[in-house]
Amino acid sequence: MYDLIGDIHGCANELKGLLAKMDYREHAGVWRHATRRVIFLGDFIDRGPAQVEVLEMVRAMVDADQALTVMGNHEFNAVAWATPVATGSDAYLRPHTEDNRKQHAKFLDQVVEDSGDHEKWIDWFRGLPLWLDLPGLRVVHACWHADAFADLTGHLDELHRIRDEAAWAALTRKGDPAYDALETVLKGLEIVLPDGVEFKDKDGKVRRHVRTRWWKDHPITYRDLAIAPTDVIPQIPHEPAPEDILPGYDGEKPVFVGHYWMRGTPRPLSSRVACLDYSVAAGGKLCAYRWDGEHDLVDEHFCWVDVDRRQTATQGAA
């Protein structure tokens, strides 16, 4: 059986605390459980104080067959940041803008940009799968979306890993269908708001699209669909969204995601969908779900540790 762990963002102390709470023990540098394995949902880096330590813990478990993992958008961005658009070019797949560097600066500082360690971790990120479809459950960082998977297939190997440099270029090229598919899988499904509707995000950028509760499968309003800060929600119109705007979820297996910076007491989003990102890097919780083969997810299988709020200032905010 599996214990699925949400976005860690460099919070090593919380990861150790959560593993210990679930009866994992460290032996010879690897955290192990007698009968269970971990599945990590990505976003190991950026924001937190101990990103390299988190990576070392996760990789040791994966290498020892004690864990599986998928790629998060932060690992994807890290590879794109470090990859020139062409050999010898001073332009990169993720442009080195001030905003992009600010988001990534703590990782670059902790790993030492352009060092051997930096290159080592970028190479490891390149080999992470975008999703897992296992007997009994599914795992993806942000959105399980069959059409997006189809658009990505030609750029991936049989284990859903990004195939080669040409694939990386396509997945970072705005306007390419594969770019939009990758954005959906790793960052969530966004929809266009009605004409004239916009809002500012937490970074002050004007947005005319809104991230959605993609797992919904019935007619619903734009406001009900929106995943946005509490102060933004009143700006989203309470008018019906087009019925075909969401893929829904087939519910064949439970699916686990991270990414969405949830708050409050962890619980399923629906009977077959759970988000395990509970804002650890912003003083929230590091959250897991202890899956025992059930089809319908239950509140009682969530497990978490709260952040020591005395350390929150050193970890930074989301």
Cα 29 to Cα 56: distance, rounded to the nearest angstrom:
9
- pLDDT > 70: what percent of the chain? 96
Q: Write down the pLDDT at residue 283.
A: 94
Domain boundary among 208, 224, 246: 246
**Domain with 124 in it:** 2-186+249-315
C-alpha distance across the termini of the chain, in Å: 32
Crossing angle of helices 51-63 and 12-21, rounded to 10°: 40
Question: How does pLDDT run across 99-150, given as a tens digit for each residue?
Answer: 999 999 999 999 999 999 999 999 999 999 999 999 999 999 999 999 999 9
Domain boundary among 218, 246, 274: 246
One domain for residues 240 and 253: no
Count of CA atoms in the C-beta half-sphere (13 A) of 190: 14
- How many independent structural domains does the chain possess? 2
Q: Write down the pLDDT at residue 312.
A: 46
Residue 314, Cβ density class (10 Å: 0-12 exposed, 13-18 middle, ≥19 buried): exposed
Neighbours of 249 (CB within 10 A): 22
One domain for residues 51 and 148: yes
Q: Write down the pLDDT at residue 315.
A: 38
Q: Write down the pLDDT at residue 243.
A: 78
**Residue ranges in the chain whose pLDDT is less than 50:** 312-318
One domain for residues 113 and 237: no
Question: How does pLDDT run across 241-267, given as a tens digit for each residue?
Answer: 887 787 778 889 999 999 999 999 999
Does this model's pTM top 0.95? My answer is no
One domain for residues 112 and 177: yes
One domain for residues 6 and 125: yes
One domain for residues 37 and 172: yes
Domain boundary among 211, 228, 246: 246
Q: Write down the pLDDT at residue 55.
A: 98
Beta-bridge mates of residue 278: 285
> The dihedral of CA 257, 258, 262, 266: what is its sign?
positive
Q: Write down the pLDDT at residue 68.
A: 98
Q: Write down the pLDDT at residue 318.
A: 29
Q: Write down the pLDDT at residue 202.
A: 67
Nearest to 190 by CA among 253, 132, 256, 259: 259
One domain for residues 215 and 265: no
Pairing label, strands 30-32, 226-227 = unpaired
One domain for residues 116 and 219: no
One domain for residues 239 and 302: no
Q: Write down the pLDDT at residue 111.
A: 97
One domain for residues 258 and 143: yes
